[in-house]
């Protein structure tokens, strides 16, 4: 029983790592542009498929294709923002939200057209798991968790040590003051999409490593990603880390009691509960 618990807990940490990387982007974008980016899941999928092209097309190992996928997804996110969202910024945030729904559908269709509608994987065959005591640990799981830890640390350094990172925090704190201080908003917004898009690509690749590639993979993970962002207090990238871990853990642990098909429902339930009880997130007060 304890062993089962640890085993499932490990899956929770793995899922939590993936959700965290997606939720950080959602939170950063919300903090600066004040809208819920519904295309974020499909951006994750796009990143995963970019990596697939290099794995299948050029025979790259997954880890070596990741940097290319990150850059490509970052550029895609910037392009989507410049072409679509940028024009809508002066109107109601709800219009941006709805347009991001449109982008989500468009991305999914593009993925299906380019890479096909069927399931795909990076590496065929079964990975030999390691045994740690009675615990079964897949090498991929280790890479996913380590990768997430490294990226979260890198993000922290970026937000606290670099001028652009600090400007992102300033804009999310007080947009009007950032503007009157002369902070170049459009440039910082671009950097935000680059960071959000890059992290989404990694989240997508990790999700594909853990499960498989499929055109709706991003759409189906969107709900838990949002649940994580909301749990952490949307607009707070640091909260998203805790939110991701709690949602990932809750989803996996729930499988010990209820049927695994209800995993998304667990995330949904937690999100709704949170919105009712503490809409500002797990941590302290005002946004």
Partner 1 sequence: MSLLTIEGVTGGYGGADILHGVDLRVGPGEIVVIIGPNGAGKSTLMKAAFGLVTIREGAVLFERRDITRLRPDQIVREGVSYVPQERNVFPSMTVHENLEMGAFIRDDDIRPQLDKIYDLFPRLGERRDQVAGSMSGGERQMLAMGRALMLEPKLLLLDEPTAGLSPLFMDQTFERIQSINRTGIGILMVEQNAKQALAICDRGYVLTMGRNRVEDTGASLLANKDVAEMFLGG
Q: Return the ∠ at Cα 125 (arms to 121 and 7), rounded to 5°.
A: 85
Applying CB under 8 A, which part among 91-99, 101-109, 169-177, 247-255 lies near partner 1? 169-177
Interaction with partner 1 in 174-193: which residues (CB under 8 A)? 174, 176-185
**166 belongs to the binding site for partner 1 (CB under 8 A):** yes
- CB nearer to partner 1: give 109 or 160: 160
Considering the complex, state which of residue 59 and residue 182 has its C-beta at the smaller distance from partner 1. 182
Q: Cβ closer to partner 1: 124 or 161?
A: 161
d(CA 73, CA 196): 9
C-beta closer to partner 1: residue 166 or 263: 166
How many residues touch partner 1 under the rule CB under 8 A: the total is: 17
Minimum CB distance to partner 1, residue 278 (Å): 18
Q: Which of 89, 169, 212, 263 binds partner 1 (CB under 8 A)?
A: 169
Neighbour count for residue 98 (Cβ, 10 Å): 13
If one asks whether residue 91 binds partner 1 (CB under 8 A), the answer comes out as no
Interaction between residue 96 and partner 1 (CB under 8 A): no
Position 125 contacts partner 1 (CB under 8 A): no
Using the rule CB under 8 A, give the single segment among 40-48, 50-58, 69-77, 161-169 that binds partner 1. Answer: 161-169
Residues 6+ apart with CB under 8 A from 158: 164, 165, 195
Binding residues for partner 1, per CB under 8 A?
Answer: 163, 166-167, 169-170, 173-174, 176-185
């Amino acid at each position: 029983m304890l062993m089962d618990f640890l085993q499932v807990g490990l899956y929770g940490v793995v899922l939590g790592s993936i959700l965290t990387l997606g939720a950080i982007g959602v939170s950063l974008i919300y903090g600066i542009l004040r809208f819920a980016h519904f295309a974020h899941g499909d951006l994750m999928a796009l990143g995963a498929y970019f990596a697939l092209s290099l794995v299948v097309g050029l025979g790259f190992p997954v880890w070596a294709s990741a940097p290319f996928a990150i850059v490509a997804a970052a550029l895609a996110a910037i392009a989507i923002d410049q072409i679509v969202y940028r024009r809508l910024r002066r109107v109601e945030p709800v219009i941006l939200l709805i347009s991001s729904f449109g982008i989500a559908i468009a991305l999914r269709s593009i993925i299906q057209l380019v890479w096909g509608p069927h399931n795909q994987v990076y590496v065929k065959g079964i990975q030999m798991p390691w045994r740690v005591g009675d615990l079964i640990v897949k090498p991929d799981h280790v890479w996913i968790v380590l990768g997430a830890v490294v990226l979260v640390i890198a993000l922290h350094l970026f937000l606290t040590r670099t001028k652009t990172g600090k400007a992102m925090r300033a804009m999310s704190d007080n947009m009007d003051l950032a503007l009157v201080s002369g902070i170049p908003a459009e440039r910082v917004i671009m950097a935000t999409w680059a960071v959000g898009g890059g992290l989404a690509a990694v989240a997508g690749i990790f999700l594909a490593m853990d499960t498989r590639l499929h055109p709706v993979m991003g759409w189906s993970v969107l709900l838990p990603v949002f649940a994580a962002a909301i749990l952490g207090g949307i607009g707070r990238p640091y909260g998203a880390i805790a939110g991701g871990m709690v949602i990932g853990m809750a989803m996996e642990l729930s499988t010990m009691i209820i049927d695994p098909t209800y995993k998304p429902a667990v995330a949904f339930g937690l999100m709704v509960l949170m919105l009712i009880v503490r809409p500002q997130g797990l941590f302290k007060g005002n946004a």
